[in-house]
Chains A and B, each alone.
Chain A
Amino acid sequence: MLGSATKRTAPEEKKAEMTDSRAAGATSTEPVTKAAGRPAKTIETRGVNLFYGDFHAVEEVTMTIEPNKVTALIGSSGCGKTTFLRSLNRMHELTPGARVEGAVTLDGEDVYDSRVDPVAVRRLIGMVFQQPNPFPTMSIYDNVAAGLNLNSTKISKSQKDGVVERSLRGAHLWEEVKDRLDKPGGGLSGGQQQRLCIARAIAVEPEVLLMDEPCSALDPVATLAVEDLIGELKSRYTIVIVTHNMQQAARASDVTAFFNLDETGKPGHLVEMGPTEAIFTNPNEKETEDYVSGRFG
């Protein structure tokens, strides 16, 4: 069970999970980047249809997102890739009128089961957004610890210090900020802010990281730094990244899924999914070929 919404059972389970992750954070002196790979979880979707009110945004997506791999979702604007991404951790339903049909499972467990607490889902399936969105006035330290504070009431200062350092190291930011942890997160550069958001996301030890165009607001150097980081993080997490930058998909992902829509107003659908190398050298579908070759005028 991912974490139940039923009050009687939820606290115990959530507490157990949090205790586990705190213990891992507190006892491990090894930075995340040096930790050996750990098996992450598989996401499967079956016949997923997504709606905004009457508007059918995404149609019948069935796919398996493999653990410890980077899966890139590509496709033109409006094809539903971001909507689909947001359905994986139940963020889609936060939009008024939004609706989900079909099944999403995390290692076989139904993410949309009525007994599952959406907040627990979002802790296990973290998200990094297009615009770096640290809490601007909150300190760097508190930004990273924010997730811990929300998810748990009992964590000692030394345990928290451990998690913050481990997460910042994991996000390749520790060396740059270790002497100014008390300074506001808003004072960092764009690339640093995005890595701070990644640190915040991994602080709660998720299983999956969803990234919605994480580099679109970054300069090329910061972009490559985040791409390198993504490459390292996959040894511990399942990563799904939405990107408009096809070269980024080609560089940074292992698997690429191409979404398209027949015409404006029609729902987006999955056209083809396969090893990134195959999608960019010899895709099966002409639609994919035209898109990756830039023939979508």
Chain B
Amino acid sequence: MPEVARAEYLEELANLEASALGGLDLVNIALGRTLEAVEHQDIELAQIVVADDDRIDGRYLEVHQALITLLATQSPVATDLRLISSLLHVLKNVERMGDQCVNVCKVIPISGNEPPADEEMVRLILTMGRQTKTLIMQSKRAFEERDVEMAQDLVRQDDVVDDLNRDCFRLALEIGDDIDKREWAMTMLLAARALERTADNAVDIGEQVAFVVTGLFREFEDASHPS
């Protein structure tokens, strides 16, 4: 009898976890490129991000299918079952984050090659993006290490993103009467919104960490009933 029963199954589950969480690395790369494209108004780089989203979607489909197969063939229960359920959620979040990068990249060409950019607003969006990257990597580490405290800290990190998002909104309101500048500011608000959603997805992953560890699901923050 092997040292540990079901060794192959456990190895497969561990590999699938690594693949699902590896999706967060792909998102991190996509977000990094997205921010670079925003900063330099780089339409070509933005197009690469859009095209590369297929890799993230591919990761989603591949790991999702493998997890369904494990459910069908291995009858996982207890922690294994909670882990698989969480990974299905994480995958969905990964896929959504990739789509949000695409959303940002798609608005870059709208604002043209030489937009009437407001430096302060670009700075706010880049800061938001960098903070969101921090959240993404922290959510990955919290999951890998099953660290509920680190997962809960994502809420604090997310508040920074939310504040920056509100700052963007205020700045857009005060951007002035120039029609081109106002149009540019509106597209940047869409980008800010996409980043805010991405950070929120990272918090959702944190909630899954708590579920895997404790077996209880609870929202870290309830948007419909804020404390």
A residues at B contact (CB < 8 Å): 246-247, 250, 280-283, 288-289, 292-297
Number of B residues near A (Cβ < 8 Å) is 19
Known contacts A246-B77, A297-B3; 19 additional CB pairs below 8 A are A247-B75, A250-B77, A281-B82, A281-B215, A282-B78, A282-B82, A282-B214, A282-B216, A289-B78, A292-B77, A293-B6, A293-B77, A293-B80, A294-B5, A294-B6, A294-B9, A295-B6, A297-B1, A297-B4
Interface residue from B5, B75, B77 paired with A296 (Cβ < 8 Å) = B5
A241-B169 Cα distance, complex, nearest whole Å:
63
Asked if residues B78 and A281 are in contact (CB atoms below 8 Å), the reply is yes
Nearest first, the 4 closest Cβ-Cβ pairs linking A and B are A297-B5, A282-B215, A280-B77, A289-B78
User: Given A281-B215, A282-B215, A293 and B79 touching (CB < 8 A)?
Assistant: yes
- Residue B2 interfacial (CB < 8 Å): yes
Asked if residues B78 and A283 are in contact (CB atoms below 8 Å), the reply is yes
In the complex, residue of chain A having the shortest beta-carbon distance to the beta carbon of B76: A293
A246-B76 Cα distance, complex, nearest whole Å:
11
- Residue B110 interfacial (CB < 8 Å): no
Interface residue from A281, A283, A288, A295 paired with B5 (Cβ < 8 Å) = A295
- Residue B66 interfacial (CB < 8 Å): no
- Residue B81 interfacial (CB < 8 Å): yes
Interface residue from B10, B81, B216 paired with A280 (Cβ < 8 Å) = B81
In the complex, residue of chain A having the shortest beta-carbon distance to the beta carbon of B74: A294
Residues of A within 8 A of B216 (CB): 282
User: In the complex, what's the smallest C-beta–C-beta distance from B75 to chain A, in angstroms?
Assistant: 6
In the complex, residue of chain B having the shortest beta-carbon distance to the beta carbon of A283: B78
Would you give the 0/1 interface string for B76-119, flagging 1 where the beta carbon is closer than 8 Å to chain A? 11111110000000000000000000000000000000000000
Asked if residues A297 and B78 are in contact (CB atoms below 8 Å), the reply is no
Residues of A within 8 A of B6 (CB): 293-295, 297
